[in-house]
Amino acid sequence: MFVLATKSRRMIMRKVFFYILTVLLLYACGSNDQGELVGVRSKTKWHSLKPLGMTLVPGGSFTIGSQDEDITGSMATPSRTVTVRSFYMDETEITNAEYKEFVHWVRDSIVRTELALMSELMSDDGTTVLEPYQFKDSDTANMTPYQKYMMDSYGSLGDVNAPLQGRSLDWTEELIWDFDDFPDEYYAEVMDSMYTFVEGSYGGRKTLDVKKLRYRYPWYDVGKQKNQKRPVTVKDTVFSIYPDTAVWLRDFNYSYNDPMHQDYFSHQAYQDYPVLGISWDQARAFCHWRTKRKNDYLATKKRKTTVPDFRLPTEAEWEYAARGGLENPTYPWGGPYTSNDRGCFLANFKPQRGDYALDGALYTVEAKSYNPNDYGLYNMAGNVSEWTDTEYVAESYRMGATLNPSVRDGKNRKKVIRGGSWKDVAYFLRVSTRDYEYADSTRSYIGFRTVQDVLGTVKK
């Protein structure tokens, strides 16, 4: 009897101990804050992770502009000290293979949408057509009250402009592209709508109608937003996203560049070369898609967080990154010369008038060529010029802000390009040389790379 009473007393003491411990833990965690200010804490932890293929450019101050002779006398690059924040930047220009992933996603999403819409029809014998490509069923049974409200009110789960009316595509079923393997005439009808007419075929083969590859994305009109106190101005734009391969013919009159026109974007030999024939608007569309692609992946993993937007670098960010942390360099590699002590050229450009091949490359080279600068960035001089997010104003270096300077009013269609290209002389390779092109222009010597803001502390 005494033994049982002792055991009972021990059990009671253990329960009291665990109760006191639980109260102390809850108090320490702030659930019983006794009216003190403890702050609002997010339940989701945030760590700034370096995206694949990007490198960290640590923020800091530097002397922007030219510190040597103004050869052109333009007075467009007076030197002064400015500061930029930390950001991640692509190690290389966006390649054909990377941009082609964007093109294929747009193409496949259009095809899958058309197949899903066609599957809502019934065949003559009353059976469902294209059943494997139907929309995913909306799981109304497991919807939250908010999701049910959105479906009843807007016909979609949050996106009031969704053309699929709240339904989602099934990406598990593979698409068939070989004409001889089409499963039925309904599938053939949908696929036929994606190709050019027979009379527009080349070499007896029907080709994809690239004009149908259009991407819709929203964006902030910063020019209007900064002049308003409260409303956020959002615009919705649709762009054709296929590269303009005709730039190889249009940029050089009386020149035989047919092979580059026919093969540069489509042939696997050029998959690691920088994508060209991309307008400023198309580059921004790619940035939006890349952000969407990452956030969609995080959503599938049930992670209640999103990444900062991928975007084009500002002109100041681009110049800061090109300098690689060096003090007053002429070129990204530091020295005042375009070749090393062994006579090897340090970038892809036009060394002499009419001699494009003296540096070992007639046109572009692979994106990861030559030595990177001290930030690990390749071809910040030469190969292809690069779009920035900044609008070109000749006086901006003199009149702009000293903190994260960039000109964006939404009306100026002149966009700054930097770095020089395979067809430029050495002057355009300088880290301080400015140039511009119109936003809707496409060239055989302009590409781009993206950046992403760093939030919080960087985990190295």
3-class SS letters over the chain: CHHHHHHHHHHHHHHHHHHHHHHHHHHHCCCCCCCCCCCCCCCCCCCECCCCCEEEECCEEEEECCCCCCCCCCCCCCCEEEEECCEEEECCCCEHHHHHHHHHHHHHHHHHHHHHHHCCCECCCCCECCHHHCCCCCCHHHCCHHHHHHHHHHCCCCCCCCCCCCCCCCCCCCCCCCHHHCCCHHHHHHHHCCECCHHHCECCECCECHHHCEEEEEEECHHHHCCCCCCCCEEEEEEECCCCCCHHHHCCCCCCCHHHHHHCCCCHHHCCCECCCCCHHHHHHHHHHHHHHHHHHHHHCCCCCCCCCEECCCHHHHHHHHHCCCCCCCCCCCCCCCECCCCCECCCCCCECCECCCCCCCCCCCCCCCCCCCCCCCCCCCCCEEEEEEECCCCHHHHCCCECCCCCCCCCCEEEEECCCCCCCHHHHCCCCCEEEECCCCCCCEECCCEEECCCCECC
pLDDT score recorded for residue 39: 85
**pLDDT tens digits along 100-112:** 999 999 999 999 9
pLDDT score recorded for residue 160: 37
Between 341 and 157, whose confidence is greater? 341
In whole angstroms, give the CA distance from residue 343 to residue 360.
Answer: 12
Q: Is the pLDDT of residue 251 over 70?
A: yes
Rounded to two decimals, what is the model's pTM? Answer: 0.85
Model confidence at 202, in pLDDT bands (50, 70, 90)? low
Q: What is the mean pLDDT of residues 247-267?
A: 93
Model confidence at 159, in pLDDT bands (50, 70, 90)? very low
Model confidence at 27, in pLDDT bands (50, 70, 90)? very low
Sheet holding 414-418, edge to edge: 435-438, 414-418, 385-391, 446-447
Model confidence at 227, in pLDDT bands (50, 70, 90)? low
Query: Quick one: what percent of the chain has pLDDT higher than 90?
Result: 47
Most confident of 166-170, 299-303, 404-408: 404-408
* Cβ count near 224 (within 10 Å): 16
pLDDT score recorded for residue 24: 45
Q: What is the mean pLDDT of residues 24-31?
A: 48
* Cβ count near 107 (within 10 Å): 20
Q: Is the pLDDT of residue 407 over 90?
A: no
Please check whether residue 426 is in contact with residue 338, taking contact to mean a CB–CB distance below 8 angstroms: yes
**pLDDT tens digits along 359-384:** 888 899 999 999 999 999 999 999 99
pLDDT score recorded for residue 23: 45
